[in-house]
Amino acid sequence: MTVPTLPSPAAKALATRHRLGGLEHTFRPESEVSVQEKYRIWFVIGSLAGIAALLGGGVLLWVKVHWGAAIFPLWIGVVAAGLVSRSPLFRRDLASRRLHLYEHGLVVNTSGSKLFAARWERVVLYQETVQEVIDYKGTQTPVGRSHASRLVAPGGQQALITHAYAGSHTWAPLIAEAVARAQVEKVWKLVREGGTVGFGPYKLSGSGITNASGEVLPWREVSEIAVRGGMVCVWRAGRTQAWAAPQAQLVPNLLVFLTIADNLRGQ
């Protein structure tokens, strides 16, 4: 778990305005290398000197030897310069960004000094997790995972939180669980009273689940609902092929959807 750190005055004021309660977690930007702040300037100087040496050496090879010999150092130098330009270690505006999770909502830097705030019971959450794999001779080996959470406030303001913030394996489920805790009871009450609730390509009601085509599958015919391979799959009893399988990133408040659907299916 992360230790809450003092938010900026602007973030604190925004949290107070939205009545977000106590601060529980703070996440900093992901850094490529762990460097203590007191050594940061030397790391920056050393990195810039290395890039300059690569580019300068490449130019000399191009002029004095052959352009083919210059391609590799020039390419490495350009790639390194691009990484540096997007690194929190070199840009204080990126390093100062924070993701603050509160008891009743969150505050996050979106771009530059802009801040986004929302309460858990009012926000709409879309989440996407991408698992990268290497397929070698039929054997798939996981090599990395990236995550993105898009939040939409009641007024239409949006915030995209990506793995640019460290600890996506921690903050992603924390956000999803907080939204579910704040919204499940209200949604469940609405469905129990005979209402229908939309979750993007799906609709839930006491009688069954409706897909994007408008087809209704009664709960007694639903054998399983699960997230598989980035898809939210619904299976009809006795069938091996999914009855519906939209992308998980299209289903808002996914954990709320899964909780309500599981409760209805278990009745």
- The predicted-structure confidence for 13-35, as pLDDT tens digits, reads as follows 999 999 999 999 999 887 644 55
Question: Over 60: is that where the pLDDT of 94 sits?
Answer: no
User: Both tokens of residue 261?
Assistant: 């659907």
Question: Over 60: is that where the pLDDT of 79 sits?
Answer: yes
Least confident of 1-10, 32-41, 127-136, 235-244: 32-41
Continuous H helices in 125-241: 168-192
Q: In which residue are the tokens 């996981």 written?
A: 142
Q: pLDDT: is 242 or 8 the higher one?
A: 242
Question: What are 109-145's pLDDT values in tens digits?
Answer: 887 678 999 999 999 999 987 655 565 556 656 556 6
Least confident of 119-133, 165-179, 201-215: 119-133
Least confident of 49-58, 68-77, 82-91, 257-266: 82-91
Residue 38, pLDDT score: 52
Query: Considering the chain, what is the average pLDDT of its residues?
Result: 83
Q: pLDDT: is 62 or 85 the higher one?
A: 62
Question: Over 90: is that where the pLDDT of 36 sits?
Answer: no
Give Cβ neighbours of residue 245 (< 8 Å, ≥ 6 apart): 228, 231, 232, 233, 234
Residue 216, pLDDT score: 97
Residue 21, pLDDT score: 96
Q: pLDDT: is 245 or 84 the higher one?
A: 245
Torsion of CA 100, 102, 105, 110, to 10 degrees: -10
Whole-number Å distance between alpha carbons of 56 and 40: 24
- Residue range 191-210: average pLDDT? 97
What letter represents residue 102's amino acid? Y
Residue 32, pLDDT score: 42
Residue 85, pLDDT score: 55
Residue 1, pLDDT score: 47
